[in-house]
Structure 1
Amino acid sequence: MDFNVFDKEKLKVWLEIVLAVVLVAAVGIAGNKGAFDKKTVNPDKVNAAGNEALEKAADENEAAQQKADPKEDKKDSGDREQIKEEREGQASEEVIAEGQYPIMGKSSVTVDQMVEYFKTSGEAYPSDALSKGGADSIETFCQMYYDEAVAEGVRPEVAFVQTMKETGWLQYGGDSSIEQFNFAGLGTTGGGVAGNSYPDVRTGIRAQIQHLKAYATADSLEQACVDERYEYVTKGCAPYVEWLGQQENPEGYGWATADNYGYSIVDMISNLKKMK
């Protein structure tokens, strides 16, 4: 008998046995870990997930619809613009209701109301002096205020009432004279300093409104600047009429030093709005 052949055969058998054992062990481990499991989809889980997503989407849509304005469904661009204006008006009124009257914004005040408010003063309109500057009547004068204010986004009643306060219902008597067409004391510092002069009524009105805008916002002007003092104003330091008074302004800025300057203008605006 050839023992070398026998040993080789025996060794071959043992190697095959060992390999078989290792293979069986590997298969068993993989099977326990699910390596050879068929990947199946549980339809119940799929339906549950789908239903959950649909329910979430429905809830979100419902919440969005509750917050949305029904008017937004309108497709016409004019309708959308109207809605935007309505919302802007509502936002402005909310601010006013909280006790602060914005200088900037759209207003419901009309030229007719401004005219009637002037007439309540009992003062005569100085047509002789102001007609030289292009405003021969109170109606023309008020229309100029309205147009110039709207052009810059300033509320017309703010500028107009400030003028009535500053000039004593266009009767003057202070450092400035009516011939200067300076309607809000621009450049006057007291002690007989007359302040700025303008070539006509409209330019004087425009300068005042641009100066108000400088106090109210950092937004740029819509028209060419005619206010010589525009650059000296800290832009946006007084967005509300009440803050035009330095004593009431949180940062100490303001148009005038008089006590309750801005609040007195707001009181006058309230009376103007009562006009029919």
Structure 2
Amino acid sequence: MVPIRVISESLGMDVDWDGVSRIVYITTPEPVQTVLKETTNLNTNQWQSISILGESMVSSKELTRLARENNPSAPDLAALYISIGKEYGIRGDIAFCQAAKETGWWKYGGLVEPEQNNYCGLSATGAAATAEEDLRGADPERVWFEEGCHGAFFDTPATGVEAHIQHLYAYATTAPLPPGKSVLSPRFALIKRGNSANWEDLGGKWAVPGYDRNKYPDFAAAFASCDTYGHSIINDYYKKVWKPNDQVSSQNIAITPEERIKDLERENRFLREQVAELKMKL
């Protein structure tokens, strides 16, 4: 049994005990302003070790501009990547760049078709589906397979984006899904959780082998040259849209008191759920 105080204080809350009334008071601290800053420098090796977790540093407007420069018919998905990425604590701007890589700027031409709303090749493993595939807990109303097709289908673009973000979440952290979220990635349960903290770590995991075998004798040599699948997301896509003088990416991005309150409210709901579960075990 885990004490309520341990759970509460781990979430940054204050716990007080009134011995007379025998009541536990759990309160959240005053909202504070958190500042995030893009530290990546175009001229240094700081382009390496960019975390999958974190706040987006490029605006949806700039991401859309880059996509349309490469494909005038590219769908308008940037805002979804930014907003859904924020819900999971994932860099939605770089996830968008990964989607651009996976879909060839949404021109496709590979195994996955545009109508699948599958922007990262989820479950497109080379073999055509039978429509009997195990969804592994994913919501069957929103995710499915169709016979003869490659990869999963998602009911809406937003679901496809969230499944992508969720799959990155599986790689980047061992934490449970955010409160209120259900499984959408049919391969979520197959991932060794938390095995890729940074984008370059995805090489050889998200994509196998994750490097050009015609250029390098092995993955280690490709990684040393910063030329793997994960490095490509940054070098060939994100670098093209990140600007040192961009209003969104170069200035400090402050979390407002209102946003901090929402974060604390989510944490409070999570705490209440944990308390309810503990009470059921008493």
TM-score normalised by length of structure 1: 0.58
- Is the CA contact (8 Å cut-off) linking 1:102 and 1:241 kept in structure 2? yes
Structure 1 match to 2:158: 202
The counterpart of 2:79, out of the listed 132, 143, 150, is 143
Partner of 2:238: 269
1:213 maps to which residue? Answer: 169
**Aligned: 1:258 with 2:210:** yes
Gaps of 5+ in 1: 1-75, 127-136, 247-252
Name 1:165's counterpart in structure 2.
Answer: 101
Q: Which has the larger radius of gyration?
A: 1
Distance in 2 (alpha carbons) for counterparts of 1:220 and 1:191:
30
Aligned-pair distance for 1:221?
Answer: 1.4
Q: What root-mean-square deviation, in Å, do the aligned CA atoms of Structure 1 and Structure 2 show? A: 2.4
With a CA cutoff of 8 Å and minimum separation of 6, indicate the structure with the bigger relative contact order: 2
Distance apart, 1:183 and its partner CA: 0.5
Change beyond 3 A, Cα 1:234–1:203 = same
- SS where residue 154 of structure 2 aligns? coil
**TM-score (structure 2 length as normaliser):** 0.57
Instruction: Give me the whole-angstrom Cα distance separating, in 1, the residues matched to 2:232 and 2:46.
Output: 17
Whether the aligned pair in 2 keeps the contact of 1:238 and 1:254 (CA below 8 Å) is: no
Q: Structure 1, residues 102-149: CA drift from partner, whole Å, max 9, x if none?
A: 10011221111111111221x1225xxxxxxxxxx52xx211111111
Partner of 1:183: 119
Q: Is the 8 A contact 2:203 2:230 kept in 1?
A: yes
Alpha-carbon distance change, 220 to 89 in structure 1, aligned in 2, over 3 angstroms: farther
Structure in which a larger fraction of residues adopt strand: 2
Question: Between Structure 1 and Structure 2, how many residues are aligned?
Answer: 175
- Unaligned runs of at least 5 residues, structure 2: 1-28, 130-149, 212-227, 247-282
Counterpart amino acid of residue 196 in structure 2: A
* Maintained 8 Å contact 2:60/2:93: no
1:220 Cα deviation after fit:
1.5
User: Does residue 156 of structure 1 match 2:92?
Assistant: yes
Q: Deviations over 1:75-128 (max 9, x none)?
A: x945xx22xx22x547x769x83721110011221111111111221x1225xx
What SS is found at the alignment partner of 1:120? Answer: helix
Specify the alignment match of 1:114 in structure 2.
63
* CA distance 1:254–1:178, shift in 2 (3 Å): closer
Q: CA 1:98–1:208 in 2, change beyond 3 Å: closer, same or farther?
A: closer
Does structure 1 conserve the Cα–Cα contact (< 8 Å) formed by 2:57 and 2:93?
A: no
The structure in which a higher percent of residues are helix is 1
> How high is the sequence identity, in percent, across the aligned residues?
28
